[in-house]
């Protein structure tokens, strides 16, 4: 998208969700709007109006406030979503459902965001349970990308084998459509590379993925281990939402601690301090690579619409990047393509490429 | 242990197991023997004799070769252990069973080592399944230790709730006995700190750990998340062997990739190169902290004897450290203490401190 091209359908932002409320959301939306994106800011009108007033020239940007008097707090229950129609996350999801927004982005309560999208948008036909898809940096990646795509990172703590098989297909289509990778490889996260290694769940999933690969529906690499995630052995890492959530939080937490040790080591001696000044610019790039703001937000894949869910602690950079990613997926017609692939899988005679 | 003090019972080393065969095993054993430890080198006599010949003065060290003509190869099946009595890992375990060795250490086929210890030594009364206990470095640890104790990291891919509850108790006793921590805290690895967050398994385990804590049998912190592992929120992290194995391999793999990025960044510019030379000594300490050789090997806890299992790629430093750790646990009478605590738990009227 160039700066002059303004997309027909805006992205809806839950502009009051997250640990820091409106401030980082509005700042990120303003930054996205300055690069040409239309954004609907959903939340309490008076508050958002005041926040927008801090940005000179904001009134000329493609930003619109959609009033939503209520908000689900970070410490409330996800199930509260059902009864509170006027909560910002519900209003934002309805904008997508009604075709007034191309996607919804929220840095608010993750469980509430999932529930709102699931209830309001519904599931794609052929998907039992939506999953949260995210990216982690990797050494190179089999396609030289520098990131791996991991799902589910937390939507489903308890799973059935077919969920993981469906997610592998969804993620394959996602990478084809959004990242233009033609045959993304799928790795099943397990505890040994050999086919017979794993737990009761992965053994069943392995058989399903093998079948799907034999039917030409995906590129199954086989089992992978924990070390393969950062090594980038496969494009996609498929796992249950319990394991995936632990993987994500361990990966982020470990990076934070290791970089802290590097920082401390550089401060511990005079030579280290001097050297540290010289290497700081080089190390900044490494730290940026591990910064969750780079990807902005994770995709709730499998719902009938585009829904992005980010960290409660997201900053304005994360908000901006999430809005741009959501818009890109919409322009690539991701949901329509996911639907087409699902229908083709259900009816093997149909060719998705002939849609 | 001082240099002059020679323990009465030697440690048995599977001296031909691992990716590199006898060389690192014998080198590590020689180093341990030089610090006063007695070691039984188990494996093909002629080969071990030749290897020992490379170390001047080795004949004066407290080292003895125990002939074992067979060895389970790294690519064979763990179940092969059953039929091959003369395999080094079986001979080494029998030395422990017969009271001729205080512990067995193996860098060979992990599955075979587990199976051999389980068949030969049997389980402690009150333990359904032994687990692999290991250490990961952490920011500080609640006891300021700089490491966390994690189990199970791979012995049991499929588990029942009571296994994890038993492991929490075993690990608590282990830290009391070997590390002199009086009330080690136990964290249950899950996907949210709140009691009700987790999967079907962790919800059941949570209730069992809560009961054990109320009965005064352990110090249960509650649920922890992936980020808490490196943060060192609790002394002990208890999880199933599938999740634990992925955690361990992800942690090691991520550290390798991140340090590689730091190295590359330091080489990418002239300033970086110059600074890199200055900071190298400081960074070496950080890398050493993540080096698995520091801990040497993991403990198979719950068998009726001391069995340490290391990486197939272990170097001589890892072998030496594993032998010293095994000897220390033996001197601390770890197995007897585990047994006493198990019997006290089974009979709440008995006081383990009055043993």
Name which CATH class applies to B128-293: alpha beta
User: In this predicted complex, what is the ipTM?
Assistant: 0.91
Q: Which residues of A touch B203 (CB under 8 A)?
A: none
Q: Specify the 3-state DSSP secondary structure of A44.
A: coil
pLDDT value at residue B144:
58
| pLDDT above 60 (res A4) | no
> Nearest CA of chain B to the CA of A106: how many Å?
19
Report the number of secondary-structure helices (H) and strands (E) in chain A. 11, 11
Domain with CATH 3.40.718.10 in chain B: 1-127+302-333, 128-293
Fold exhibited by the domain B1-127+302-333: Isopropylmalate Dehydrogenase (3.40.718)
Superfamily, domain A134-292 = Isopropylmalate Dehydrogenase (3.40.718.10)
**What's the mean pLDDT when you consider all of chain B?**
90
Count, residues in chain A: 355
B278 and A278 within 8 Å at the Cβ level: the answer is: yes
Q: Average pLDDT of A188-196? A: 92
Question: Of A231, A262, A272, which is closest to B278 when you measure between CB atoms?
Answer: A272
> Nearest CA of chain A to the CA of B134: how many Å?
16
Tell me the pLDDT tens digit for each residue of B175-222: 999 999 999 999 999 998 888 899 999 999 999 999 999 999 999 999
Q: What angle do CA B98, B2, B15 make, to 5 degrees?
A: 45
Q: Please name the residues in contact with A98: beta carbons below 8 A apart, sequence gap of 6 or more.
A: none
**Taking a C-beta distance cutoff of 8 angstroms, is the pair B84, B70 a contact?**
yes
Backbone angles phi, psi at A183, to 5 degrees: -130, 65
B243 and A248 within 8 Å at the Cβ level: the answer is: no
Between CA A207 and CA A186 the distance in angstroms is 13
A255 and B250 within 8 Å at the Cβ level: the answer is: no
The model's pTM is: 0.92
> Nearest CA of chain B to the CA of A77: how many Å?
12
pLDDT value at residue B20:
93
Q: For A248, which residue in chain B has the nearest alpha carbon? A: B226
pLDDT value at residue A287:
75
Residues 306-335 (A) with a CB less than 8 A from some CB of B? none
Q: Which residues of B touch A261 (CB under 8 A)?
A: 286, 289
**Taking a C-beta distance cutoff of 8 angstroms, is the pair A219, A185 a contact?**
yes
- For residues B184 and B79, the model is more confident at B184
| pLDDT above 80 (res B353) | no
Cα A5 to chain centroid distance, Å, stands at: 25
| pLDDT above 60 (res B13) | yes
Question: Of B230, B241, B255, which is closest to A253 when you measure between CB atoms?
Answer: B230
Q: Which residues of B touch A200 (CB under 8 A)?
A: 157-158
Query: How many contacts does A have with B, using Cβ atoms within 8 A?
Result: 191
Between CA A341 and CA A339 the distance in angstroms is 5
Residue showing tokens 């601390």: B332
Residue B172 is encoded by which pair of tokens? 């608590």
Q: Average pLDDT of B2-19? A: 78
Q: Average pLDDT of A325-332? A: 96
> Nearest CA of chain A to the CA of B152: how many Å?
12
B191 and A261 within 8 Å at the Cβ level: the answer is: no
Residues 54-113 (B) with a CB less than 8 A from some CB of A? none
**Taking a C-beta distance cutoff of 8 angstroms, is the pair B16, B112 a contact?**
no
Q: Which residues of A touch B266 (CB under 8 A)?
A: 279, 282-283
Q: What percent of chain A has pLDDT over 90?
A: 73
Q: State the pLDDT confidence band at A196, using cuts at 50, 70 and 90.
A: confident
Tell me the pLDDT tens digit for each residue of B220-242: 999 999 999 999 999 999 999 99
pLDDT value at residue A143:
57
Q: For B158, which residue in chain A has the nearest alpha carbon? A: A199
**What's the mean pLDDT when you consider all of chain A?**
90
Q: Average pLDDT of B53-72? A: 95
A279 and B266 within 8 Å at the Cβ level: the answer is: yes
| B247 lies within 8 A of chain A by CB | yes
CATH of domain A1-127+302-332: 3.40.718.10
pLDDT value at residue A145:
64
Residues 175-214 (A) with a CB less than 8 A from some CB of B? 189-191, 198-200, 202
Residue showing tokens 């125990």: B66
Tell me the pLDDT tens digit for each residue of B259-309: 888 888 777 777 767 777 777 777 777 777 777 777 789 999 999 999 999
> Nearest CA of chain B to the CA of A76: how many Å?
12
Between CA A33 and CA A58 the distance in angstroms is 9
Between CA A98 and CA B54 the distance in angstroms is 79
Domain with CATH 3.40.718.10 in chain A: 1-127+302-332, 134-292
Q: What percent of chain B has pLDDT over 70?
A: 94
Residue B337 is encoded by which pair of tokens? 């203490």
Between CA A204 and CA A166 the distance in angstroms is 13
Between CA B235 and CA B231 the distance in angstroms is 11
Q: State the pLDDT confidence band at A329, using cuts at 50, 70 and 90.
A: very high
| A270 lies within 8 A of chain B by CB | no
Q: Is the dihedral of CA A65, A68, A74, A77 positive or negative?
A: negative
pLDDT value at residue A92:
98
Backbone angles phi, psi at A308, to 5 degrees: -110, 135
Give buried/exposed letters for B107-135 (b at 16+ CB in 10 A, else e): bbbbbbbbbbbbebbeebebbebbbbbbb
DSSP state of A221: E
pLDDT value at residue A328:
95
Question: Of A189, A283, A286, which is closest to B246 when you measure between CB atoms?
Answer: A189
| pLDDT above 60 (res B329) | yes
Q: Which residues of A touch B256 (CB under 8 A)?
A: 227, 230
**Of all helices (H) and strands (E), which one includes residue A67?**
strand A63-67
Between CA B319 and CA B310 the distance in angstroms is 8
Residues 151-170 (B) with a CB less than 8 A from some CB of A? 154, 157-158
Between CA A225 and CA A242 the distance in angstroms is 16
Q: What angle do CA A156, A159, A160 make, to 5 degrees?
A: 150
Between CA B101 and CA B39 the distance in angstroms is 9
Cα A189 to chain centroid distance, Å, stands at: 19
Q: Which residues of B touch A241 (CB under 8 A)?
A: 191
Q: State the pLDDT confidence band at B2, using cuts at 50, 70 and 90.
A: very low
- For residues B32 and A267, the model is more confident at B32
pLDDT value at residue B130:
98
**Of all helices (H) and strands (E), which one includes residue B189?**
strand B185-189
Q: In what order do the strands lie in the sheet with B39-43?
A: B63-67, B39-43, B11-14, B104-106, B307-309, B298-301, B131-137, B147-151, B236-238, B185-189, B219-224
Provide the strand spans (E) within A88-129: 104-106
Tell me the pLDDT tens digit for each residue of A96-143: 999 999 999 999 999 999 999 999 999 999 999 999 999 999 887 555
Give buried/exposed letters for B231-240 (b at 16+ CB in 10 A, else e): bbbbbbbbbb
> Nearest CA of chain B to the CA of A235: how many Å?
16
pLDDT value at residue A354:
43
Question: Of A190, A246, A281, which is closest to B226 when you measure between CB atoms?
Answer: A246
Tell me the pLDDT tens digit for each residue of B147-156: 999 999 999 9
| pLDDT above 50 (res B3) | no
Q: For A260, which residue in chain B has the nearest alpha carbon? A: B139
> Nearest CA of chain B to the CA of A276: how many Å?
6
B250 and A231 within 8 Å at the Cβ level: the answer is: no
Interface test with B, best of A161, A187, A237, A282 (most B CBs within 10 A): A282
Q: How would DSSP label each residue in A99-115?
A: TS-S-EEE-S-HHHHHH
Tell me the pLDDT tens digit for each residue of A11-67: 999 999 999 999 999 999 999 999 999 999 999 999 999 999 999 999 999 999 999
| pLDDT above 50 (res B127) | yes
> Nearest CA of chain B to the CA of A54: how many Å?
36
Residue showing tokens 């020689």: B30
pLDDT value at residue A144:
58
Q: Specify the 3-state DSSP secondary structure of A144.
A: coil
Tell me the CA distances in angstroms from A179 to A149, A174, A278, A301, one per residue in order.
Answer: 11, 8, 36, 15
> Nearest CA of chain B to the CA of A322: how many Å?
23
Q: Please name the residues in contact with B192: beta carbons below 8 A apart, sequence gap of 6 or more.
A: B198, B223, B225
- Return the CA Rg of chain A: 21
Between CA A235 and CA A220 the distance in angstroms is 10
Lowest model confidence (mean pLDDT) among A76-80, A258-262, B5-9, B223-227: B5-9
Q: Average pLDDT of A291-316? A: 91
| B35 lies within 8 A of chain A by CB | no
Interface test with A, best of B282, B288, B312 (most A CBs within 10 A): B282
Whether a cis peptide bond, with omega within 30° of 0, leads into A152 is yes
Residue B206 is encoded by which pair of tokens? 């949570």
Residues 281-300 (B) with a CB less than 8 A from some CB of A? 281-283, 285-286, 289-290
Question: Of B229, B247, B283, which is closest to A265 when you measure between CB atoms?
Answer: B283
> Nearest CA of chain A to the CA of B189: how many Å?
8
Lowest model confidence (mean pLDDT) among A290-294, B92-96, B109-113, B246-250: A290-294
A157 and B281 within 8 Å at the Cβ level: the answer is: no
pLDDT value at residue B348:
59
pLDDT value at residue A3:
47
Q: Please name the residues in contact with B98: beta carbons below 8 A apart, sequence gap of 6 or more.
A: none
Question: Of A230, A241, A265, which is closest to B285 when you measure between CB atoms?
Answer: A265
């Amino acid at each position: 998208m160039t700066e002059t091209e303004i997309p027909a359908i805006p992205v809806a932002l839950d502009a009051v969700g997250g640990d820091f409320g409106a401030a980082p959301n509005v700042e990120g939306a303003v930054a996205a709007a300055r690069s040409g994106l239309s954004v609907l800011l959903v939340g309490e009108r008076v508050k958002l109006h005041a926040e927008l007033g801090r940005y000179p020239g904001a009134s000329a940007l493609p930003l619109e406030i959609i009033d939503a008097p209520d908000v689900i707090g970070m410490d409330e229950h996800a199930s509260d979503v059902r009864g509170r129609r006027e909560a910002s996350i519900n209003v934002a999801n309805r904008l997508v459902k009604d075709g007034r927004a191309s996607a919804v982005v929220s840095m608010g309560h993750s469980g509430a965001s999932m529930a709102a999208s699931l209830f309001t948008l519904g599931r794609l036909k052929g998907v039992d349970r939506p999953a949260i898809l995210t990216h982690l940096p990797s050494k190179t990646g089999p396609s030289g990308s520098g990131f791996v795509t991991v799902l589910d990172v937390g939507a489903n703590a308890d799973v059935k084998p077919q969920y993981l098989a469906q997610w592998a297909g969804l993620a394959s289509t996602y990478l084809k459509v959004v990242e233009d990778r033609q045959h993304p490889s799928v790795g099943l996260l397990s505890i040994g590379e050999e086919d017979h290694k794993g737990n009761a769940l992965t053994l069943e999933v392995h058989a399903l993925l093998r079948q799907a690969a034999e039917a030409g529906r995906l590129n199954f690499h086989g089992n992978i281990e924990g070390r393969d995630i950062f090594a980038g052995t496969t494009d996609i890492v498929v796992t249950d939402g319990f394991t995936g959530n632990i993987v994500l939080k361990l990966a982020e937490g470990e990076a934070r601690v290791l970089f802290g040790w590097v920082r401390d080591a550089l401060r511990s001696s005079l030579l280290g301090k001097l050297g540290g000044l010289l290497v700081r610019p080089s190390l900044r790039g490494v730290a940026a690579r591990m910064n969750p703001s780079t990807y902005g937000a994770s995709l709730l894949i499998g719902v009938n619409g585009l829904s992005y869910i980010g960290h409660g602690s997201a900053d304005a950079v994360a908000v901006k990047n999430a809005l741009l990613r959501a818009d890109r997926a919409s322009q690539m017609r991701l949901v329509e393509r996911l639907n087409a692939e699902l229908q083709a899988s259900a009816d093997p005679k149909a060719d998705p490429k002939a849609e």
